[in-house]
Amino acid sequence: MSKVKKPQQRWVCQACGAVSSGWYGKCPACDAWNSIEEEVAAPSPGERPAGPGKVVASTEAQTIVDRQPRRPCGLQEIDRVLGGGLVPGSVVLLGGPPGIGKSTLLLQASVGLARRNGVVLYASGEESVAQVASRCGRLGASHPGLLLMAETRLEEILSTAQERAKTLAALIVDSVQTVHSGAQDGLPGNISQIRAVTSALVGFAKTHGVPVVVVGHVTKDGQLAGPRLLEHLVDAVLSFEGDEERAIRMLRATKNRYGSTQELGVFEMRGDGLREITNPSEAFITDRDSPAIGSCITASLEGSRPLLLEVQALLAAAFGNPRRTCVGVDPVRLAMLLAVLDRHAGVFALDQDVFVNVVGGMRLGEPASDLAVLLAVASSHRRQPLPPGLCVFGEVGLTGELRPAPRTDARLSEAARLGMKRVLLPTGPKQHALSARKLKEQLDVEVRLARTVGEALDLAFS
């Protein structure tokens, strides 16, 4: 008889998943303390017992995908971020700070799923059934297909879900830090418990083809709590962001195996729940009777959606080293634009404190917003407002030249739809000139083209 090999032991960091040769008080990879635990190593592929494996051709696999379409949530903003809805068998991790509205968002999405796709099981480990039902009544989210369950034991949640697996449209667990498995030692929220619970939920989703949505807490620095392995186990990671002092909430995807991670969903928090904002540009632009100094409107792209955003700049006398304070703008990019203004436009602002803010808590990460930041700083330096109804976008180079932004047609159409009367953009290839001429013929919009930063300043303030 051949000897049966004993399972090998290994030491794994519960924070980052790094494998070491022995126990350390401090992980050599991520510097986490007391996070290394002993585990049984999985057998190598050659040591695993032979078993039947089903091989499917890619053409046949496509027919399987066609038979299992996405399941829309009923909220267009969520479906947009997910890529069209929940994919059967997928696992989605939703994170956000406490009190931002994660449970409210999931309850409203659960009702939409129940109305369109079948039964939805909502398992809450933080609230009782009466508390969740009270919120459903306030949100108008009651439905016979929405089943509520207050349970922290993973085995009970999976047992209930398996009984209804054939008619189950989705399983929602709120939250993963409160659920524990009897097969794993430790208290709920322990790193080992979080990984064990998530792995079991992923196995249930893949086996029964039921989408699973898991709520995760975030740490003080805004990162998802638990091991980094948690984000690798799931198929999509959504982040629900917002300022507690403002009613605007934004849903982003930091990971999505079935869609783009560039899409953005915008909501407004009200007393009766979250309301979708189908036209976010109007929410991010300040309605003024007269133009303001240091303000400039730009057309940005969030995935496939063009947005008009307002960039504000303020210059003040510096006492000591000049400060560069940015909210929503890269400070390194701002420093570059100030140098370009000084060298190629004759606007010297390097010795002043510069404050730049994007209204609404948005972030401008694409280079197409360079021209708007530059003109906002120039407006504050000159103490002269830009003309009303002006929208600008374009990338600024270190030599002072302007480069066109991608998808100019979509940006121009959004600017014209919101009543912008003048658009300033870089001179580019022939298709840009043709788009500008076509838009001018169809809509009452004046399009001005500039090659350099100096030309852009002259055209903007003329």
First to last CA, the chain: 92
Q: Which amino acid is located at 349 in the chain? A: A
Distance of alpha carbon 250 from alpha carbon 452, whole angstroms: 35
Distance of alpha carbon 159 from alpha carbon 121, whole angstroms: 12
300 contacts: CB under 8 Å, gap ≥ 6: 306, 307, 308, 309, 362, 364, 366, 368, 369, 393
Residue 385 is assigned to a ligand binding site: no
Residue 440 is assigned to a ligand binding site: no
Distance of alpha carbon 333 from alpha carbon 44, whole angstroms: 48
Tokens of 68: 């299992």
What is the longest distance spanned by two Cα atoms in the chain? Answer: 92
Residue 102 is assigned to a ligand binding site: yes
Distance of alpha carbon 432 from alpha carbon 441, whole angstroms: 14
Look at phi and psi of residue 439 and say left if phi exceeds 0, alpha if psi is from -120 to 50, else beta: alpha
Distance of alpha carbon 77 from alpha carbon 80, whole angstroms: 5
Residue 260 is assigned to a ligand binding site: no
Sign of the torsion angle spanned by Cα atoms 377, 379, 382, 383 = negative
Residue 242 is assigned to a ligand binding site: no
Torsion of CA 85, 63, 208, 252, to 10 degrees: -20
In contact, 177 and 226? CB cutoff 8 Å: yes
Residue 100 is assigned to a ligand binding site: yes
In contact, 300 and 293? CB cutoff 8 Å: no
Residue 98 is assigned to a ligand binding site: yes
Positions at the binding site for ATP: 96-103
Positions at the binding site: 96-103
